[in-house]
Amino acid sequence: MASARFDYDVAVVGAGPAGSGTARSLAARGYRVALLERDPGPGRPVHCTGIVSDECFERYGLPASLVIGSVSSFVLRSPSGRPATIRRRSVQAHVLDRVGLDRWLADEAVRAGADLVTSTAVDDIRWTGDGVRLSLSAGSAPLTARAAVVATGFGTPLARKLDIGSSGELLSGCQAVVEQEGVDEIEVFTGDALGAGGFGWLVPWRAGLGLAGLLTRKHTMHRLNEHLARLRAAGRIGRIVERFRLRAVPIGLPDRTVADGIVAVGDVAGQVKPTSGGGIYYALLSAEIAAAALAEAIEAGDVTAAGLAPYEERWRAALGTEIRQGMRLRRLIEQLPESAIEQLHRLLGVPVLRRVLVSAAPSLDWHSSKLTRVLERLDRHRDAAPASLR
Q: Which 324-363 positions form the footprint of ligand FAD (CB under 6 A)?
A: none
261 interacts with ligand FAD by CB under 6 A? no
Closest CA to 89 of 102, 70, 73, 100: 73
Q: Which of 23, 34, 151, 164 binds ligand FAD (CB under 6 A)?
A: 151
Min dist CB 286 to ligand FAD, Å, is 9
Q: Which 208-227 positions form the footprint of ligand FAD (CB under 6 A)?
A: 213
What distance, in Å, lies between the first and last C-alpha atoms of the chain? 62
13/228 with CB nearer ligand FAD: 13
319 interacts with ligand FAD by CB under 6 A? no
Q: Which of 2, 8, 9, 14 binds ligand FAD (CB under 6 A)?
A: 14
Backbone angles phi, psi at 270, to 5 degrees: 70, 20
274 interacts with ligand FAD by CB under 6 A? no
Q: Which of 7, 8, 27, 38 binds ligand FAD (CB under 6 A)?
A: 38
Q: Which of 10, 11, 15, 291 binds ligand FAD (CB under 6 A)?
A: 15
d(C-alpha 55, C-alpha 92), whole Å? 8
Residues across the chain = 390
78/220 with CB nearer ligand FAD: 220
DSSP-derived 3-state class of residue 83: strand
Min dist CB 151 to ligand FAD, Å, is 5
d(C-alpha 19, C-alpha 40), whole Å? 16
54/356 with CB nearer ligand FAD: 54
- The beta strands (E) that lie in the chain are given as 8-13, 33-36, 51-53, 67-71, 73-77, 83-87, 93-96, 115-117, 122-127, 132-136, 143-150, 169-179, 186-189, 199-204, 209-216, 240-243, 247-251, 258-259, 262-264
Say which amino acid occupies 238. G
Q: Which of 35, 149, 174, 293 binds ligand FAD (CB under 6 A)?
A: 174
How many residues at the interface with ligand FAD, by CB under 6 A?
A: 39
Contact 114, 127 (CB under 8 A): no
Min dist CB 232 to ligand FAD, Å, is 19
Say which amino acid occupies 172. S
93/374 with CB nearer ligand FAD: 93
263 interacts with ligand FAD by CB under 6 A? no
Cβ burial, residue 170 (10 Å; 0-12/13-18/19+): middle
Planar angle of CA 356, 359, 361, nearest 5 degrees: 105
DSSP string, 136-185: ESTTPPPEEEEEEEE---TT-HHHHHHT-S--SEEEEEEEEEEE--S--S
250 interacts with ligand FAD by CB under 6 A? no
283 interacts with ligand FAD by CB under 6 A? yes
Contact 253, 316 (CB under 8 A): yes
Integer-rounded Cα Rg, in Å, for the chain is 22
50 interacts with ligand FAD by CB under 6 A? yes
Q: Which 184-203 positions form the footprint of ligand FAD (CB under 6 A)?
A: none
Q: Which of 122, 253, 264, 289 binds ligand FAD (CB under 6 A)?
A: 122
Q: Which of 2, 6, 16, 106 binds ligand FAD (CB under 6 A)?
A: 16
Q: Which of 9, 37, 54, 322 binds ligand FAD (CB under 6 A)?
A: 37
Q: Which stretch binds ligand FAD (CB under 6 A): 153-161, 219-227, 290-298, 328-336?
A: 153-161
Q: Which of 23, 34, 86, 121 binds ligand FAD (CB under 6 A)?
A: 121
212/298 with CB nearer ligand FAD: 212
Closest CA to 33 of 151, 149, 159: 149
Residues forming contacts to ligand FAD in the complex (CB under 6 A) are 13-19, 36-39, 47-52, 121-122, 151-153, 156, 158, 173-175, 213, 247, 249, 266-267, 272, 277-281, 283
